[in-house]
Chain A
């Protein structure tokens, strides 16, 4: 099989982009990535996006973005896996390159969320849940995560303050990221003083609604030499993806992300590594409790010990398990379908040694992107070439 490498990255800041449309964001990120890679044409485009039809009444994003970016009559499709759409789009791009069918592939993740009224945005996000058996009852996506958070605290004896440490870490790191939505450090008190959105989950336990786009250019190791120096190449060493029940109530376990475990095991096997080899983790902290569960499910912590890593300071840049090195979903922001691609871009920065919040000597990084309440998860391993 051909070795896939990322040779270019591009992105927009995450934020409330009132002046920019979905297509503007996507094209900006995409052209930046192509410039970074030194390519002027690509063989195909994969667009990670969760809910453009609901948020901006626009589907057919493959045609829209390839057309507006001037990419010609190439194949282009949208990839949807709820909030894991970005991670899934990256993996589809990698598969196309590995298969030999396409040599230079562009992946862009984009979401334009702030054009929608907040309670409508809450509704559209809940479309990632089970519409007939969850949304029907008036549950929001935040509320589903709150149900898990309450159980997690009871089962393992953690407090709301303990979980707030994940938000504090994310904001500390996001403060160094010029592309992050929130560039201000916070304290546990900030989290505790924020209002309940769905008890016991508070506003600062949750990632913000935002707009943004991020892009990567993927090619083979052989072909990469035509465009960039080795220092700019990052290998996609392993990847895995799995689903779990879409309906949280139907889950066999509420406190373990089975899909993350399966996806991570596949990715480790493909990369030929173990979790101890990984230098940093960009896990999906859409909600603080999900950061804890993610660390446990991918094997970085034992069950019930994910939040202990935060309490012991091990999730900081200088800890043994640095996470959310550029702010994560919590501080960088979470334009849902774009998030997995932002994680990929940030991992590439770390592995090229270009991150504003650099993990020293980072060789291997992991990105983990969750769709639904753990129902659709991607894990990707990136390695310095």
Chain B
């Protein structure tokens, strides 16, 4: 799976996955993540980049115990739907959290973490995860 030529496949999403940059419709103001070519609200194609704050709340969560191949190393791990304070919901892993602590509406913040490693000579993927805010 993890062939070096896949680098471009992940590299092209660095902005979104490292910095949580999404889209904002210039026509109706709707913000969304990830950035789309067409506004899902009004159909406009005038979309600009939008920087999210990275703050959000847990909408729902689960603990992945039988992961897809490539993610076995981390199991079990929590995955959540997180509603960003600007509105859109994103799916991501929660990190640095006791699964027993997770609850509906729990406040979280975005943090950059390793998401997956390929084989010994393969690439390492990083991206956003969410954790309890550091005060």
Q: Is the CB of A143 closer than 8 A to any CB of chain B?
A: yes
Would A197 and B34 be within 8 Å (CB), given that A134-B91, A151-B59 are in contact?
no
Q: Within the complex, which residue of A117, A122, A150, A247 is in contact with B91, where a contact is CB–CB below 8 Å?
A: A247
Q: Is the CB of A196 closer than 8 A to any CB of chain B?
A: yes
Q: How far is the CB of A195 from chain B (nearest CB, A)?
A: 8
Contacts of A151 in B (CB 8 A): 59-60
**Structural contact, B81 and A147, CB atoms closer than 8 A:** yes
Q: How many residues of A contact B (CB 8 A)?
A: 37
Question: How far apart are the CA atoms of A142 and B62 in the complex, in Å?
Answer: 10
Q: Within the complex, which residue of A136, A248, A249 is in contact with B127, where a contact is CB–CB below 8 Å?
A: A136
**Structural contact, B63 and A199, CB atoms closer than 8 A:** yes
Q: How far is the CB of A340 from chain B (nearest CB, A)?
A: 24
Q: How far is the CB of B16 from chain A (nearest CB, A)?
A: 9
Question: How far apart are the CA atoms of A286 and B69 in the complex, in Å?
Answer: 21
**Structural contact, B64 and A123, CB atoms closer than 8 A:** no
**Structural contact, A143 and B60, CB atoms closer than 8 A:** no
Chain A residues numbered 159-210 whose CB sits less than 8 Å from any CB in chain B: 195-201
Question: How far apart are the CA atoms of A382 and B88 in the complex, in Å?
Answer: 40
Contacts of B37 in A (CB 8 A): none
Q: Of residues B60, B74, B89, B93, which shows the largest number of chain A Cβ atoms within 10 Å of its Cβ? A: B60
**Structural contact, A120 and B64, CB atoms closer than 8 A:** no
Q: Within the complex, which residue of B59, B66, B89, B115 is in contact with A197, where a contact is CB–CB below 8 Å?
A: B66
Contacts of A197 in B (CB 8 A): 65-66
Chain B at the A interface: mostly helix, strand, loop or mixed? strand
Contacts of A137 in B (CB 8 A): 79, 91-93, 115, 127
Contacts of B88 in A (CB 8 A): 249-250
Q: Count how many pairs of residues, one from A and one from B, have CB atoms less than 8 Å apart in the complex.
A: 104
Question: How far apart are the CA atoms of A245 and B72 in the complex, in Å?
Answer: 28
**Structural contact, A249 and B81, CB atoms closer than 8 A:** yes
Q: Is the CB of B104 closer than 8 A to any CB of chain A?
A: yes
**Structural contact, B90 and A143, CB atoms closer than 8 A:** no
Q: Within the complex, which residue of B64, B70, B116 is in contact with A143, where a contact is CB–CB below 8 Å?
A: B64
Q: Is the CB of A138 closer than 8 A to any CB of chain B?
A: yes
Q: Is the CB of A370 closer than 8 A to any CB of chain B?
A: no
Would A196 and B60 be within 8 Å (CB), given that A147-B79, A254-B81 are in contact?
no
Since A140-B64, A146-B62, A147-B91 are in contact, a sample of 10 more A-B pairs with Cβ atoms closer than 8 Å, ordered by chain A residue number, is: A119-B69, A133-B91, A137-B92, A138-B64, A138-B116, A143-B79, A147-B62, A147-B79, A150-B61, A254-B59
The 9 closest A-B pairs by CB, nearest first: A123-B68, A146-B62, A138-B71, A119-B69, A198-B62, A147-B60, A249-B91, A249-B89, A151-B60
